[in-house]
Amino acid sequence: MAVRDIIMDPADKALRRKAESVDRVDKNVLKLLEDMTETLQNAGGNGLAAPQIGVLSRLIIVKKEMKYIKLINPVLVKSAGEQISFEGCLSLPGIYGVIRRPEFAVIGALDTEGKPFEIKAVRHLAAAFVHEIDHLDGILMIDKAVRIISGG
Ligand code: NI
């Protein structure tokens, strides 16, 4: 495993392009997910998407309690309700956004064995999944924020 550099320039092309679907869960994909997990752990964040380390593949890691959930080709299957979410992003140090997010979300993805699964999330966790999936489409939280707070 290795800690990768996180891109912290919102204008960087890797953060602004649409990432590609993973068609085979092979050794390289698993290695990448391990590196992403270690990078996220090291940075102390709640989520990380592959484009943030310059890889345009549809891979995300989301921290749930003490576990790191690895999702391959994640999609928002269902969402309901609304919450006002207060978010940071490892690619936008010192910037916080106030964003409308769904209160409840069902995410579908492949696991590390290439098997489909679904995960339900509410509140902070629902917002975290949607935030990370947005990264795969080149969308940053500042694009959706109703208010941006910088500093700190
Ligand atoms: Ni982010």
Calculate how far, in angstroms, residue 51's C-alpha sits from the geometric centre of ligand 1: 10
Domain segments of the chain as ranges: 13-150
The confidence score (pLDDT) of residue 151 equals 75
Tell me which of 34, 38, 82, 132 is the catalytic residue: 132
Average pLDDT of the residues in 55-60: 98
Calculate how far, in angstroms, residue 125's C-alpha sits from the geometric centre of ligand 1: 13
Q: Alpha-carbon torsion 45, 46, 50, 52, what sign?
A: negative
More confident residue, 1 or 114: 114
Calculate how far, in angstroms, residue 25's C-alpha sits from the geometric centre of ligand 1: 24
Which band of pLDDT confidence, cut at 50, 70 and 90, is reported for residue 1? Answer: confident
pLDDT tens digit sequence for 89-98: 999 999 999 9
Dihedrals φ, ψ of 116, to 5°? -70, 145
Average pLDDT of the residues in 3-20: 96
Can you say how many angstroms the Cα of residue 11 is from the centroid of all Cα atoms in its chain?
A: 18
Active-site residue flag, 87 = no
Does residue 86 sit in helix, strand or coil?
Answer: strand
The mean of the pLDDT values for the chain is 97
What is the percentage of the chain residues whose pLDDT exceeds 90? Answer: 97
pLDDT tens digit sequence for 21-48: 999 999 999 999 999 999 999 999 999 9
Calculate how far, in angstroms, residue 84's C-alpha sits from the geometric centre of ligand 1: 16
- Residues 6 or more apart whose CB falls under 8 angstroms from that of 28 comprise none
Please tell me the CATH superfamily of domain 13-150, with its number: Peptide deformylase (3.90.45.10)
